Amino acid sequence: MKATFCALMLAALPAMAAEETAVRGELFCSVERRVVLPYPGTIAAIPADVGQDVKQGEPLLQWMLSRRARAELEQLVSPVPLAAAEAEAASLEAESDEARAAAEEAERLAGEKLGTRRQAELAKSRAAALDRRLAAARERVAFERRQRESGLTWLRETLGVAEPEKGVPETATLPAPVDGTVIWISGDARPGVEWDPSAPLLTIGVMDPMIVRAHVHELDVVKLKVGDRAEMTLLARPDVTLEGTIRRIAWAPFPHWLPEPSYFEVELAVPNPDRALRQGYKVNVQFGGGPAE
């Protein structure tokens, strides 16, 4: 019985695929990144504007770090811990060399009956202990070097500091994390405002391609597959016709009351080279165009 039902469903799919399905969808950026300040500070200038295209690393905002933030960052990239670790390792290396030479001499004297075996063993133990301390000191040097390099890289990439080795500046820049378009800036963001890192500051979106998300009834979603085309019209501009391609079909429905039918999310990619489409636009989606060529 089950096999017969499945065979009937499969036989019906070509006829179902020929039918068209119309749903309402909404446009979203294909990638969206919220940008926040990494430390508390005061906004100095906002060179970026809504609708502006930006490249990764370009300055979005200039801000003055708080005293506490500067102190933390200066400690993060300070060369003092690394210099202290290197000095300790150099001192231990000299001691270790002397101890190994002394152990070899004690072993030679013990072999010539000019010294005791006990003295040779003690010299070896001291040399081994210094070798262990030297290994630990070298690990600390490597750790401090990684910490400082990580801090310097963080200052370059996150705060836009060109030469962090020279110190932490009072005013830093907030670089764009990705290529995209500034789609939102907080209305409270203006020069002179003290900004908390927990508050969203601005949002960058990748607008080419845009994506359309639509909820499709279970009886219609079985007709669709990834790669199928769909025609769309903007609710605000019915005269504009778009074409998109299905790139994802959800395998699980949205939560719903059990007696109600299930709806599955379908996601389509839509080219937007001229940035004419914006996030939030509603579109009428007409499936049934077949696979993309």
Confidence at residue 179, expressed as pLDDT on a 0 to 100 scale? 93
Confidence at residue 212, expressed as pLDDT on a 0 to 100 scale? 94
Confidence at residue 80, expressed as pLDDT on a 0 to 100 scale? 92
Q: Would you state the structure tokens that stand for residue 292, as one six-digit string?
A: 């993309």
Confidence at residue 237, expressed as pLDDT on a 0 to 100 scale? 84
Confidence at residue 77, expressed as pLDDT on a 0 to 100 scale? 86
Q: Would you state the structure tokens that stand for residue 145, as one six-digit string?
A: 């070097």
Confidence at residue 140, expressed as pLDDT on a 0 to 100 scale? 94
Cα–Cα distance measured from residue 212 to residue 289, given in angstroms and rounded to the nearest whole number: 16
Q: Would you state the structure tokens that stand for residue 20, as one six-digit string?
A: 């068209």
Confidence at residue 15, expressed as pLDDT on a 0 to 100 scale? 41
Confidence at residue 113, expressed as pLDDT on a 0 to 100 scale? 80
Directed axis angle between helix 117-159 and helix 67-76, to 10°?
A: 140
Q: Is the distance from CB of 263 to CB of 215 less than 8 angstroms?
A: yes
Exposure string over 121-160, b if 16+ CB within 10 A, otherwise e? eebbebbeebeeebeebbebbeebeeebeebbebbeeebb
pTM exceeds 0.85, yes or no:
no
3-state class (DSSP) for residue 127: helix
Confidence at residue 16, expressed as pLDDT on a 0 to 100 scale? 40
Q: What angle do CA 280, 283, 285 make, to 5 degrees?
A: 140
Confidence at residue 260, expressed as pLDDT on a 0 to 100 scale? 84
Q: What does pLDDT average to in each consecutive run of 10 residues of the chain (293 residues)? A: 39 45 90 90 92 91 88 87 93 90 86 84 89 93 92 84 83 89 92 90 93 92 91 88 92 80 93 89 83 58
Confidence at residue 293, expressed as pLDDT on a 0 to 100 scale? 55
Confidence at residue 292, expressed as pLDDT on a 0 to 100 scale? 55
